[in-house]
Structure 1
Amino acid sequence: MDSHMRRMFVMNRIRVPDFHLDDRHNSDDSTNTGTKTVKFTHTWSIEDFSVVFERDNKWKSCVFPVDQSNKLKWYLELTVNDKEFRGREYLTLTLNLVEWDDSTEKTIVRCSIMSHVETEQRRTFTMSEQPIVNFNAFIYCCELFDKTNNYLPNDKLSIFCEILLLTDTVCTCSRTQTINVPDFKISESFGKLFNNPKFSDVKIVTKGMEIYAHKNILAARSPVFEAMFSSATEENQRGVVTIDDMDPEVQIEMLRFIYTDHAPNLEMMASDLLAASEKYFFEKLKAMCEKSLVATLSIENAAETLVLADLYNANQLKARTIDFIKVNMDNVRRTEGWRYMSQNHLAVIQANF
Structure 2
Amino acid sequence: MEENKAQQTMGVYKLSLPPLTEAFESWTISQSKHSNLNYTWTIQNFSNLTETCYHYSPAFCRCDKDNLKWRLELYLNGSSEIWIGLKLSSEPVNGDKIMGKFKISVLNAEGKKSYSKTSSGVIELKANEEYERLKIGRNNLLKYYLPGDILTIYCEIDVVTNTVDFSGRKGITQNTNPESTLIADFANLLQSQSLSDVKLVVGKVEFPAHKIILASRSDVFKAMFEHDMKETKSGRVVITDVKPEVIQEMLHFIYTGSSQKIKEMADELFIAADKYALDDLKKMCEITLYEKLSIDRAADTFILADRYNMELLKKETINYIIFHGKDITETIGWEEMTIKHPALINETLKALFSSKEQLPISK
Report whether the alignment pairs 1:313 with 2:312: no
Query: 2:248 aligns to what?
Result: 252
Aligned partners of 2:29, 2:187: CA distance in 1, in Å? 40
After superposition, give the CA deviation of every residue in 1:78-112 in whole Å (9 maximum; x if it has no partner). xxxxxxxxxxxxxxxxxxxxxxxxxxxxxxxxxxx
CA displacement 1:158-205 (0-9 Å, x = unmatched): xxxxxxxxxxxxxxxxx9526345521321111121143322111111
Give 2:15's match in structure 1, choosing from 22, 25, 38.
25
Point out where structure 2 has 5 or more consecutive residues left out of the alignment: 22-26, 31-94, 96-166, 350-363
* Equivalent residue in structure 1 for 2:288, among 289, 292, 295: 292
Shift in Å, 1:246: 1.3
Partner Cα separation in structure 2 for residue 209 and residue 231 of structure 1: 25
Q: Give 1:31 shift.
A: 8.5
Q: CA deviation at 1:352?
A: 4.2
Separation in structure 2 between the aligned mates of residue 219 and residue 301 of structure 1, nearest angstrom: 34
1:21 Cα offset (Å)? 7.1
The structure whose Rg is larger is 1
Per-residue deviation, 1:294: 2.1
Do the aligned partners of residues 332 and 188 (structure 1) sit closer, same or farther apart at CA in structure 2, a change above 3 Å counting? same
Q: 1:264 aligns with which of 260, 271, 283?
A: 260
Runs of at least 4 residues of structure 1 off by over 3 A?
A: 19-32
Query: What is the aligned partner in structure 2 of residue 281 from structure 1?
Result: 277
Identity %: 36
- Matches of 2:228 and 2:11, distance apart in 1: 40
The answer to whether the 8 Å contact 2:322/2:348 transfers is no
Contact 2:250 / 2:269 at 8 angstroms: preserved in 1? Answer: yes
After the TM superposition, which residues 1-353 of structure 1 pair with which residues of structure 2 at under 5 Å, given as runs?
2-3=2-3, 6=4, 10=6, 25=15, 27=17, 28=21, 29=27, 177=169, 179-181=173-175, 183-353=179-349
Structure 2 CA distance for aligned equivalents of residues 31 and 290 of structure 1 = 37
Q: CA deviation at 1:315?
A: 2.9
Structure 1: gaps (5+ residues): 14-18, 33-117, 119-174
CA–CA distance in structure 1, aligned partners of residues 345 and 302 of structure 2: 9
- Does the CA contact (< 8 Å) of 1:204 and 1:243 recur in 2? yes
- CA spacing shift, 1:26–1:215, aligned 2, 3 Å: farther
One-letter amino acid of the counterpart of residue 2, structure 1: E
State the shift of 1:279 in Å.
1.0
Q: Count how many residue pairs are aligned between Structure 1 and Structure 2.
A: 202
Partner of 2:144: none
Q: Please, what TM-score do these two structures have when normalized by structure 1? A: 0.51
TM-fit CA distance, 1:20: 9.1
Matched position secondary structure for 2:208: strand
